[in-house]
Amino acid sequence: MHAVTLVNGSHNLGLDALDRGLAYGDGVFETIALQQGQVQLWQGHCERLTKGLLRLGLAADAAAASVLVTKLISDIQVAYQRFQAPDGVLKITLTRGVGGRGYAAPQAPQCTRIVSLAPWPAGRERLSIAGVNSRLCCHPWSVNSALAGLKHLNRLDQVMARNEWQDPHIHEGFMLDPEGYIISGVMSSVFLQQQGQLIVPLLDQCGVAGVMAREVRVIAEQAGINVIQGRINVAALLSADAVFMTNSLNGIWPVVNLCPSRSHTKSHAWPISDLTLGLQKTLAVNLLRQPLVGELC
Kindly list the residues in this chain that would bind a copy of itself in the complex (CB under 8 A).
5, 7, 13-26, 29, 56-57, 93, 95-96, 101-105, 114, 116, 121, 139-147, 152-163, 178, 186-187
One-letter amino acid at 278 equals: G
Question: 245 - beta bridge partners?
Answer: 190, 253
Least distance CB 75 / a copy of itself (angstroms): 12
Q: What residue type is 153 in one-letter code? A: L
Shorter beta-carbon distance to a copy of itself: residue 145 or 226: 145
Tell me how far, at minimum, the Cβ of 51 lies from a copy of itself, in Å: 15
CA distance 242 to 132: 12
Q: How far is the CB of 94 from a copy of itself (least distance, A)?
A: 11
Q: Judged by CB, which is closer to a copy of itself: 120, or 273?
A: 120
Q: Name the 3-class secondary structure at 117.
A: strand
Tell me whether residue 53 or residue 242 sits nearer to a copy of itself (CB atom).
Answer: 53
Provide, rounded to whole angstroms, the least separation between the CB of residue 21 and a copy of itself: 5
Q: What torsion, rounded to 10 degrees, do the Cα atoms 264, 270, 275, 279 define?
A: 60
How far, in Å, CA of 222 to CA of 279, rounded? 11
Q: Which of 189, 207, 229, 191 is nearest to 151 (CA)?
A: 207
CB of 121 to a copy of itself, least distance (A): 8
Cα three-residue angle 294-68-109, rounded to 5 degrees: 155
User: 93 vs 128, which CB is nearer to a copy of itself?
Assistant: 93
Complex with a copy of itself: residue 193 or 201, whichever CB lies closer: 201
